[in-house]
Amino acid sequence: VIFGVGLLGEVLVERKSAIIADQFFSELLAGFDPILITPCEEVKTLVEVERLATELRSRGVTRGDSIIAIGGGIVQDLATLVSSLYQRGVVWEYVPSTLLSMADSCIGGKSSINAGSTKNLLGNFYPPRRVVIDPSLLLTLSDSAIAAGLCEAMKISYCRGIDQFHLYLGIVNELESSGYEANLDIYAQLLACVLDFKRWFIQVDEFDRKERRQLNFGHTFGHALEVASNYDIQHGLAVGFGMLAATHMVSEDRELSGAEFELQEQVHLLLKPLNLQFEIDWAHFAQAFESDKKHTNDNYTLILPRFEGGAEVTFLPRTEMVRERVRRAMESSMCTGGERQ
């Protein structure tokens, strides 16, 4: 991973590869013949992967060439999979363009593609050769995209431990006092810190079998919420609501710890000002929750916070009582974290 303001320009100048990019960069990349992606959950499909492959073919990309992907998590998910499959695998480089992708998804090498109504059902591991982080790309992000990135960054820090969570909060406080204005130095500090926390999970558990599963904190609720809102709610924000729901669920069984209260408060601070308005189809929520790929035949799999900090994989029986608890927790997180219609 390399960091630097203005690095995107350098990557483009030294380019010897085909470019796959978010539609947002169409003007900037005019003249580079990019393959553009309209970034929405509906395009994270195998059909889109096939389109990208045929576009690469029509540009004459061979096995010895490489691909540069520029965009957020959606472009990354698609670029990872197509790079791994195209002519049985070509080298690729990634320039993340959202806070979420810079702080979280750019390392770890996962691709996640939706199938039917299940989010991220298909995927593999195929890391880019190089990740180039240019923090100046953050300057054009909306407040909600910044909040979405901070939700994921907070999740990683919280899962890594209480000291790391407090380190993260210290940096975010500096951002808050400048009104989240684009202070690129502070963002660079934040990214270095959070990527370092995430690197630990990848090093101890590259293929997501044990420790790294903690990073799914908020995701079982969050993915179902995304589907039930018809993808109106951005992924990172849904994870924020998901962390609130998971914490609420635990609070029905025991007192919350200081760190858990702090986590709730910090997620509220990010979500409340956005004044989100979205409609939830609860039947759809239940269906999406039911089909989450982390569940086993007998149990729901949830990642819940631990009293002493961090999160843990928890199995709960697939009963009506548990389904009611899940719905109650999700509803409660939305009453306090945003505005429900």
Ligand X SMILES: NC(=O)c1ccc[n+]([C@@H]2O[C@H](COP(=O)([O-])OP(=O)(O)OC[C@H]3O[C@@H](n4cnc5c(N)ncnc54)[C@H](O)[C@@H]3O)[C@@H](O)[C@H]2O)c1
Contacting residues toward ligand X, per CB under 6 A: 22, 24, 39, 41, 44, 71-77, 97-98, 100-101, 104-105, 108, 110-112, 120, 137, 140-141, 145, 148, 234-236
Residues 6+ apart with CB under 8 A from 85: 49, 53
- Minimum separation from the CB atom of position 299 to ligand X (A): 24
For 269-309, where are the E strands, in sequence order?
277-278, 299-305
Contact call for residues 32 and 19 (beta carbons, < 8 A)? yes
Which of residues 104 and 250 has its CB atom nearest to ligand X in the complex?
Answer: 104
- Minimum separation from the CB atom of position 325 to ligand X (A): 25
Which of residues 26 and 319 has its CB atom nearest to ligand X in the complex?
Answer: 26
Give the nearest residue (CB) to ligand X.
73
Chain CA centroid to CA 197, Å: 15
Going by C-alpha positions, the residue among 182, 154, 179, 171 that lies closest to residue 273 is: 179
- Minimum separation from the CB atom of position 174 to ligand X (A): 22
Contact call for residues 271 and 147 (beta carbons, < 8 A)? yes
Which of residues 39 and 337 has its CB atom nearest to ligand X in the complex?
Answer: 39
Q: Match 């979205």 to its residue by tokens.
A: 278
- Minimum separation from the CB atom of position 125 to ligand X (A): 10
Which of residues 9 and 258 has its CB atom nearest to ligand X in the complex?
Answer: 9
- Minimum separation from the CB atom of position 81 to ligand X (A): 10
- Minimum separation from the CB atom of position 294 to ligand X (A): 14
Which of residues 101 and 220 has its CB atom nearest to ligand X in the complex?
Answer: 101
Which of residues 101 and 247 has its CB atom nearest to ligand X in the complex?
Answer: 101
Query: For residue 148, how many C-alpha atoms fall within 13 Å in the half-sphere facing its CB?
Result: 23
Distance, in Å, from the CA atom of 211 to the CA atom of 103, rounded to the nearest integer, reads: 19
Which of residues 152 and 250 has its CB atom nearest to ligand X in the complex?
Answer: 152
- Minimum separation from the CB atom of position 151 to ligand X (A): 10
Q: How many CB atoms are located within 10 Å of the residue 207 CB? A: 10
SS3 167: helix
Q: Are strands 277-278 and 130-133 parallel, antiparallel or unpaired?
A: unpaired
Q: How many CB atoms are located within 10 Å of the residue 189 CB? A: 15
SS3 311: strand
